[in-house]
Each structure stands twice: as structure tokens, then as C-alpha cells.
Structure 1
Amino acid sequence: MTAHPDSPGLLEYLCSLDVPTLAALLHEQAERDPDLGERLRKRAAELDDAQGKADTEHGIEPVLDTLQRLLDAGTRADLAPLAKRAMDKIGDAFARGEDTAGQLRRAVALYARACVAHPPPPEALADWILSVTFDRPDWPVLDLRAFAKSLGDKGVNRIKSFVDTIGENDGRRAPVAARLREELAEISGDVDALVAILSAKLPSREVSLRIVRVLRDAGRHSEAIAHAAKALVRGKGPVVNAQVTAPAAPAELPRPRPAPETEKPAEPADPVDLADPVDLDELIEAEKYDEAWEFVSRDGSSLADRLRVAEFREREHPADVLPLYREHVAELIAYGDAAHYRHAAKQLRKLRGLYRRAGVAQEFGEYLAGLVTEHKRKTRLIAEIRNARIALPKDRR
């Protein structure tokens, strides 16, 4: 005998469910029942109109929490439209100068995950990525690898075709295109292209480690060892703590043999095992933020990687990240256009808060005075700093 849908057992069961599970069930039913789906969409639109700007400021965090719980639970519901809608709302608030950078980074990551489960049209996704990457320099840097599966061959080729049209002398777009070429080579598995791109960079310990890792992961162990040996010869710091010899088996790189007890082995200043090089993404994913900060603080780490880790470092050690964010402000100003000036002003406002948390608020005024004096002829920059509600030194008001 079939229980009545209003029976106490069913109601008790529904009341016992958590919000994300109940939402997923309701969403699936709405997809099967057009009338229910239309009623729910109408109510959602009415609620959106009523909340307006307050939704972004106060109500968006629960939406992101729900999205994350549903994605973590492996829901079959298509959350990509909701994730993009939340991301766009946060992005609009960010463009108005509101301090939603952290929410925006989180929303982008959730949208990437939602796209993997239910990919949107690849060409449309590729166009959105290109638009954000080239036209919104103040947005968080999109990790193309997070969208690779959703893009598929069509979307990746669309991005590659556009990037190939950008030359090395194409102003501020050139470095963005260079970064995308590197990510495209990594996504496509083109090891030779990726190694060539990395080799063209200024020599550094981080670049050498990256090349070794790429060659090793591709099974090209002898080339990985040869590159490590060349890095040692160039004097860029030790890359391995093992004797550079041919591998005994292609599946595993050699590890150092223990030295005899009567022989004291040489100890390199900063050893890194070739068979297990440090991976910044793994450190961040494992929430080993102190180790990640130590890693990017060494010579050779890119500004982008240091900024990634700074987001976590600033929580407990705001004083440590002050020089890094000052460097970022200087880089943004060097671009010389309105969008980067606006982003620099937002970073200045963030810096002001970090100076206060570090207990050296007065030093921010000194830093700002020097910055304004240095760039006093950049009237658009000065205007953006004013628009960010940062008090200028008295002689610049």
C-alpha cells in the first residue's frame, strides 16, 4: 500500500533533511515538473527584485555556502546558472568599489566546479573567459585549468585562436596572452611547447623546478635529470639533492644512496628532491599555508603566486604581506591605464586596513604620501584614489 504524500512519516522525513539536500530534491523535481519550476523561478525573481543591492552585501554568502555544500555532496542538479548569477552580482558590487574581492574569488571557483558537472556551451564559456581575462584586469586571475574539462576541445581552440592574434608588443594584453599560452600548453599536454615557454623566461629556481616537474610527469626522466644538471651548472641554486645519474627504471627517478658511515656527505644549502619537488597548489589545497609562504618567499616565485599565498598569510600575519601588496600596487600603476589605476586604488584601501591590523597605521600615511608625490602628474590615478574613499595627504586635497 502506497503512503499518502501528506502522511506524518514523509513530512517528518522532509523536515529532517538539511537545506542543501532538500534544495537539491526540489530542484530535481522542478526540472521534471514545468509548472513547479515556473512557480519557483517566479518567486526567485520576485525575491531578487526585493533584495536588490542588499542581497550582494548581506545575502550572498549563504548562497555561496549552499552552492559549495551541494557541489561537495555531488548533486546532479545544474548549478552553473545559479553560480554564474551569484558571481555576476558580486562582480557588479566589486566594480562599484565594494570590498567583495574574497567573495568574488570564491564565486569564480564555485562556478568553475559547477561548469565541470554541467558544462555550458563551450564557445560561450570561452568568450566569457576571454572577456574577464582581457577586459576586467581587476578581477581575480582565472585559472584556465579549472575550466579545461568544461571548455573541451572547441572552447580551448577558441581561446587559442584569439590568443594567437596577440603579439608580444600588444601593450598590457601581451603578458596576459603569454600566461594563457602557458596554461593552454599545459592543458593540451604539449610538453615541448610548455618547456619552450618556460625556458624563455628569466632563469630562476622556480622555473627550473617547474620544467623538471613537467618533464618528469611526462615520463621523460632523462631529460628532467639533464635539465636539473644544467640548472646546477648555471649556479641558480641546487635543484636536486641526489647524484645526477640515469634512472634505473623509467617509472621511478633515482634517489640518493646513503653515504658510508666514514664519509660525511656534502649538504647543499637548500636541497629539493627531484623526485618530489614542492608543488604550491598541493600546499594550498592541504592548507599548509606557512609552508606555502616559505616556498613563495624564496627567490624566483612569481608575483601572482605570492599574492595567492598572501591571502592566507594576511589573516594571522598582516605585517608580513605589506611589502608584497606595495609591490603589487606599483605594478598596477605601471600599466598606466584607468582600469589598472582603479584596481591599484582598491589595493591601497586593502593596504590601509592591513597597516591598521599590523599596528602601524601611521606608516600607511607616510607610504601614501610618498606614492602620491611620486605619481602626482597621474591625475586619473589620484582621482581613483579619491573615489576609493582614501584620504589624501593635505597638500593633495
Structure 2
Amino acid sequence: MAEECARLVAEGSADLAVPMLRKAVDRITRALMYLDDSSGIIGDDLQELMDLYAKACAAALPNPVSLTGWLVKLECDGPGWPRVRLADFAPALGKRGIAEVERLVAERARVADPWTAGFAVRDLREQLAEVSGDVDRYVAVLAEHLTNAVQYQRIAEVLHAAGRRDEAIGWARRGVAANPGSPYTDRLRDLLVSMLLAADDTWVLCWSGGRSSAGIPPLPNTDR
């Protein structure tokens, strides 16, 4: 079925593939709640269908309000799969659809159970900020949930990609300092080192105590 739908999209008949793919995603999502998918094979196939559905929607441009309602319901009321990527659906949603996502997410945020739908609401808010293209807004939303090094890394990467290197370095430093024992800190530390090296700020990697002010091992002594 996936191959047939991919062919329809490629041939310019995405409007025929859209309802087939949506029905398939719904059915497999429900079935996965009762199946053992420890291998992850079915889940991977489901995500591929979801990605193809996003591509078909971008070509066929279905009703954005209907699409929005389905996406938000899947994310907030579903089992956690497939992954809803608003960036993939943004071409199909357009300004009208994105505005509707904003409205529905704000509505969900007012009544969301923090132990169930709370994560989904936060994820959608972060994605909305990302697709808005407003870097400051995206950073502000990410900064609302600084529970681990991963979140600091995301902020640092966003700022670095926007050419705001000094701010990115500052956030990376904060993240390393706030999460010294986290298994996720190594990647953040690597990012910090790469940014400092690119900025030719290698001298700040060490300080008088022989330890790094950013949690980075001191540079080797090459004078011996």
C-alpha cells in the first residue's frame, strides 16, 4: 500500500493517496497498542507512512482545519506514536492551519493533565515556536523546561545556527555547569568545545586550578 501511495504522489495524484494513508496510520496506530513491537519494525513502518502522509498532504493541500484537528488529537490523545512533526506538515497547514494548531494547543494547555497530555502540549508548543522561524521565541519556549543537558544543547544549537555564537556558548556553559553528572552532558560539552575552538577561544578552556571552568578537561601541556 505504501508503494502504491508513493507512486500516486509521484504521479501527481496525491489527493487519492491522502485518505488511504490517513486511514492506514490510524489503523496501525490503534493496532500497535495491542501488539508486541519490541523489534521496532512496525513502529518504523508506521513512521514511514506518517512521513509519506505529510508529503502527500503538502502536494494535495487538504482542508487545513481538519488536518490540524487530527494532528493535535494524535499527538495529545494518542499512544505516543507515530511522531508528529509539524515542520513536515507546515506546507499543507499554511498560516491558517498553524494558527489553528496554536489555538488548539493553547486550549489543551489549559486543561491538560501534566502526567499524560502535558508532554504532548509542551512538544507541540516547542514545535510551533520552531516553525515560526522566531529564534527568540523558540529559545524562550525551550528554556521553560530546563530539566536536562539535552534541552540546553537544543538551545545552543538553535542559537549557533542563527549565527549567535556568544549566546550559544553561554547556554552551553550553563548546561554543562547545571548537569555535571548527566550522561547527556558529554554531547553538550563536545558542542561547547567545538564552538570555543571555532571562535579561537581555546584559552578559556582552562583556568588556574588546572580544571576547566566549563567542565572540560584541561588542555595537554605541550611544552615538555
Answer whether TM exceeds 0.5 for this pair.
Answer: yes
**When the two structures are aligned, how many residues end up with a matched partner?**
191
State the 1:129 CA deviation.
0.8
- Aligned match of 1:240: 192
Matched position secondary structure for 1:200: helix
The aligned amino acid for 2:145 is K
- Residues 55-80 of structure 1 deviation map (CA, whole Å, 9 limit, x = unaligned): xxxxxxxx113334555xx4322232
Q: Is contact 2:75-2:120 (8 Å) kept? A: yes
Q: Is contact 2:169-2:195 (8 Å) kept? A: no
Greater C-alpha radius of gyration: 1
- Aligned match of 1:200: 144
State the 1:192 CA deviation.
1.8
Matched position secondary structure for 1:165: helix
- Residues 225-244 of structure 1 deviation map (CA, whole Å, 9 limit, x = unaligned): 22233334546452422584
Equivalent position to 1:77, from 13, 20, 36: 13
Equivalent position to 2:199, from 227, 231, 254: 254
- Residues 310-357 of structure 1 deviation map (CA, whole Å, 9 limit, x = unaligned): xxxxxxxxxxxxxxxxxxxxxxxxxxxxxxxxxxxxxxxxxxxxxxxx
Distance across 2 between alignment mates of 1:108 and 1:242: 35
Distance across 1 between alignment mates of 2:80 and 2:172: 37
**Higher RCO by CA contacts (8 Å cutoff, separation 6 or greater):** 2
1:87 paired to 2:25: yes
1:106 paired to 2:42: no
How do 1:135-284 residues align onto structure 2 when only pairs under 5 Å count? 135-137=77-79, 139-167=81-109, 170-171=112-113, 172-234=116-178, 236=180, 237=185, 238=189, 239-241=191-193, 244=196, 254=199, 268=216
Q: Against the structure 1 CA distance between its residues 92 and 187, is the aligned structure 2 distance closer, same or farther, given a 3 Å change threshold?
A: same
Distance across 1 between alignment mates of 2:59 and 2:92: 8
Q: Is contact 1:208-1:227 (8 Å) kept? A: yes
How do 1:282-301 residues align onto structure 2 when only pairs under 5 Å count? none
Q: Is contact 1:84-1:111 (8 Å) kept? A: yes
What runs of 5+ residues in structure 2 fail to find an aligned partner?
204-211, 218-224
RMSD, aligned CA: 3.2
Equivalent position to 2:4, from 66, 73, 84: 66
Distance across 2 between alignment mates of 1:117 and 1:131: 22
Distance across 2 between alignment mates of 1:227 and 1:101: 34
Runs of 4+ in 1 over 6 A off after TM superposition: none
Distance across 2 between alignment mates of 1:243 and 1:107: 37
State the 1:145 CA deviation.
2.0
Q: Against the structure 1 CA distance between its residues 225 and 158, is the aligned structure 2 distance closer, same or farther, given a 3 Å change threshold?
A: same
How do 1:369-384 residues align onto structure 2 when only pairs under 5 Å count? none
State the 1:155 CA deviation.
0.7
State the 1:127 CA deviation.
1.0
- Aligned match of 2:73: 131
- Aligned match of 1:120: 62
Distance across 1 between alignment mates of 2:20 and 2:201: 52
Q: Against the structure 1 CA distance between its residues 125 and 212, is the aligned structure 2 distance closer, same or farther, given a 3 Å change threshold?
A: same
What runs of 5+ residues in structure 1 fail to find an aligned partner?
1-62, 246-252, 259-265, 270-397
The aligned amino acid for 1:227 is W
State the 1:222 CA deviation.
2.5
Q: Against the structure 1 CA distance between its residues 82 and 220, is the aligned structure 2 distance closer, same or farther, given a 3 Å change threshold?
A: same
Matched position secondary structure for 2:107: coil
Distance across 1 between alignment mates of 2:103 and 2:111: 18
Distance across 1 between alignment mates of 2:195 and 2:4: 51
Distance across 2 between alignment mates of 1:154 and 1:113: 18
Distance across 1 between alignment mates of 2:76 and 2:29: 15
State the 1:97 CA deviation.
5.1
The aligned amino acid for 2:2 is L
State the 1:182 CA deviation.
0.6
Matched position secondary structure for 1:185: helix
Q: Is contact 2:58-2:92 (8 Å) kept? A: yes
Matched position secondary structure for 1:142: coil
More deviation in 83-92 or 196-205? 83-92
